[in-house]
Structure 1
């Protein structure tokens, strides 16, 4: 399937002419542009979509492109791909942002072909990120089925503790811990401790 199909590009720039230019470049390939004149307005309106990319100017009044990148990372376990639009003097800052997880950057003046190549690559990545988001939500939904005590035991199991150590730490009998572990594995739909660690090690029980 074309990575542009059903795709959204969030365009953020305080310059209306730049927003029109970027919109004009991406609309012919079937990507829907949603424009914002500030990062603050975007953050208020944003909710994740299956195929998306955020394209933000580096230097804006209020929240900058770099600050937006950090805000997305802080708010969302799986943030959308972010392309930063930068002037020549800001390239080093854009490269640093990529080291921190930004997808890519483009320099002004924007070159249509290069811009589209990077956008399509980001959209292709976003489909994989959306699947990660769905898997994460599914795992969190399973964890929500656990009782508070089962979540405590899960936390200890994920920390690598044995049933004996967990029993001592939580002031329970070893048999009770084993019963909790059995119910945890049933509710989380895993068949082994290895599978439990693999699928839930990055989940923090509530």
Structure 2
């Protein structure tokens, strides 16, 4: 499948010429460019898509590219891949952003071939992230089916406590805890405590 098919690139820069340049590079490969002249405008319009990438200038009035990265991380459990556009003097800051989870950076003046390579890689990652997002949404919906007591028992299970320890801590009988655990497994559709732990660890809960 073509990675670019049905893909969206959010382009953010306060310079209209740069936006036009990036859009012109992207459109021929079938990616839809959506242009914004500020991070604030982007954040007001953004909603996650199955195949997407955010490309933001580092220095802008108001919210900068680095600040935007932090906002996306805080606001979305599975944030979109972010490519920072930077000048030569800002490369060290862009590298630091990558250490904190940004996908990559490109330097000005933008080189079309390199730009497209990084965009395609980010879009490929985005498809994987969308799958994680769907898994997370499914899990959260299943957790919502748990009763308050089952959620309480679940938290203790995730802490690694045995049924006996949970029973003592929550002032319940061991049989009652075992019944709660069985219903938790059924509602969350997992076959063992180990599988349950893996599901939560993989999503950072």
Q: What is the TM-score of this pair, normalised by structure 1?
A: 0.97
Shift of 1:95: 0.3
**Alpha-carbon distance between aligned partners in 2 of 1:54 and 1:21, rounded to the nearest angstrom:** 16
Shift of 1:16: 0.5
- After TM superposition, what 4+ stretches of structure 1 lie above 3 angstroms from structure 2? none
Aligned residues: 205
Deviations 1:75-133 (A, max 9, x none): 11111000000000000000000000100000001111111110011001100110011
Gaps of 5+ in 1: none
Query: Counterpart of 1:201 in 2: which secondary structure?
Result: helix
Structure 1 pair 153/70, CA: closer, same or farther in 2 (3 Å)? same
Structure 1 pair 77/205, CA: closer, same or farther in 2 (3 Å)? closer
Query: Counterpart of 1:190 in 2: which secondary structure?
Result: coil
**Alpha-carbon distance between aligned partners in 1 of 2:110 and 2:186, rounded to the nearest angstrom:** 54
Q: Is the CA contact (8 Å cut-off) linking 1:23 and 1:33 kept in structure 2?
A: yes
Structure 1 pair 199/23, CA: closer, same or farther in 2 (3 Å)? same
Deviations 1:6-56 (A, max 9, x none): 000000000011000000000010000000000011111111000000000
Over the residues paired in the alignment, what is the CA RMSD in angstroms? 1.5
**Alpha-carbon distance between aligned partners in 2 of 1:94 and 1:86, rounded to the nearest angstrom:** 7
**Alpha-carbon distance between aligned partners in 2 of 1:92 and 1:184, rounded to the nearest angstrom:** 47
Shift of 1:167: 1.0
Name which of structure 1's ranges 63-72 and 167-176 shifts more when overlaid on structure 2.
167-176
Deviations 1:142-182 (A, max 9, x none): 11110010000000001000111111111111111111011
Structure 1 pair 182/205, CA: closer, same or farther in 2 (3 Å)? farther
Deviations 1:174-198 (A, max 9, x none): 1111110111111111111111111
**Alpha-carbon distance between aligned partners in 2 of 1:205 and 1:85, rounded to the nearest angstrom:** 29
Aligned residue number for residue 76 of structure 1: 76
Q: Is the CA contact (8 Å cut-off) linking 1:58 and 1:66 kept in structure 2?
A: yes
**Alpha-carbon distance between aligned partners in 2 of 1:56 and 1:25, rounded to the nearest angstrom:** 15
Query: Counterpart of 1:35 in 2: which secondary structure?
Result: strand
